[in-house]
Amino acid sequence: MKKNRIALLFAFVLMLLSPLAVQAYTIPEPSDDLYVSDYADVIDREVEEEIINANLELEEKNGVQIAVVTVDFLDGANIEDYAYDLFNQWGIGSAESNNGVLLLLAIGEDNYYCLAGDGLSNLLSAGRIKLLLNEYLEPDFASGDYSAGVSKTFNAIYDLVKDSSGTPIIQEPIYNDNSHYNSNSSSGTSSHRSSSVGIFSLLLGIFVLIVVFSIVLSFISAFTRPRGYVRRRPYWGGFFGPHVIIHHDHHDHYDRHDRGPRPPRGGGFGGGSSSFGGGRSSGGRSFGGGSSRGGGAGRH
């Protein structure tokens, strides 16, 4: 009987863990073209060649790298987390200057996101990125002309960063007819959390799982306890503080359980702002090992 209860408890724990496993997603490798990874197959070849050639010029001039990535779906991930993880895993931009830019389109989810390295934070703040996306990408994206939108957005970013060395440079704000730019505005997170939202959700799920496990274990213990024991007050134990059990000889017996260790901070998938040991390579070329702490902007 006791073995059956343990087996049921184990199955229950696996059932609770399964939603956490669904949250995991795989970041693809860069394509052979490196600067353009068109996995959704929506960018014209002419536009891809323009992006590649412009990146080669940028790298030779100041080390800036602008990566354009299209995917169909994000496998359940938040697009901000996906972009952040992809940026840091690929190592876009120079490791010394952190001057990379990522433009990510999720076609099947009708969404997009743009993220820059810390070295370009004054040129491409969240507020400015949002303005660029609204002006150059949104109209064509909404009409399904993704290649044209990518071309216009890439050229706008290129014009901003072509003279940058990656050191933050303050320039005059840009305006358009429908919006006003504020250098302190932010449509995205101003700086990414040391752990991404996905990691926070995972840790929260683990914490809830431990609490549920503690409660279930306490009930199993209550059912398997010898008959001579009676409960003075509800048995919670574990995360809910000490519990009191009275032995049949009427002498109080205190079984105190200390709180378990707090879940660790950081770690996990793509956490932190450090680079991932150098940039990813493809087709003989490679990214420079740059990183980003977030602060981009997207459609939703």
Residues 103-138: tens digit of each pLDDT: 999 999 999 999 999 999 889 999 999 999 999 999
Query: Which tens digits make up the pLDDT trace of 265-300?
Result: 333 333 333 333 355 555 556 786 776 877 899 998
Q: In what helix (H) or strand (E) does residue 217 lie, and over which residues does it extend? A: helix 197-224
The C-alpha atoms of residue 30 and residue 133 are separated, in whole angstroms, by 23
The C-alpha atoms of residue 78 and residue 199 are separated, in whole angstroms, by 11
- Residue 53 pLDDT: 97
Walk me through the domains of the chain, giving residue ranges and CATH numbers. 2-21+201-255 (no CATH), 31-196+277-298 (3.10.310.50)
Provide, rounded to the nearest whole percent, the portion of the chain with pLDDT above 70: 56
- Pairing between strand 252-255 and 36-38? unpaired
**110 to 104, 172, 196, 299: CA distances (angstroms):** 11, 32, 22, 9
Query: Which tens digits make up the pLDDT trace of 163-204?
Result: 876 544 333 444 444 443 343 333 344 334 334 445 666 677
Nearest by Cα to 169 from 132, 213, 124, 129: 124
Question: In the structure encoding, which two tokens stand for residue 283, read together?
Answer: 């087709």
- Residue 294 pLDDT: 73
Confidence of residue 259 (pLDDT cuts 50, 70, 90): very low
**114 to 5, 68, 226, 250: CA distances (angstroms):** 50, 9, 62, 68
- Residue 206 pLDDT: 81
The C-alpha atoms of residue 64 and residue 296 are separated, in whole angstroms, by 17
Query: Which tens digits make up the pLDDT trace of 85-110?
Result: 999 999 999 888 899 999 999 999 99
Which of 54-58, 144-148, 215-219, 266-270 has the least mean pLDDT? 266-270
Question: What's phi and psi for 252, nearest 5 deg?
Answer: -65, 135
Question: In the structure encoding, which two tokens stand for residue 297, read together?
Answer: 């902007």
What is the DSSP code string of 220-234? HHHHHS-TT-EESS-
Which of 27-31, 237-241, 263-267, 288-292 has the least mean pLDDT? 263-267
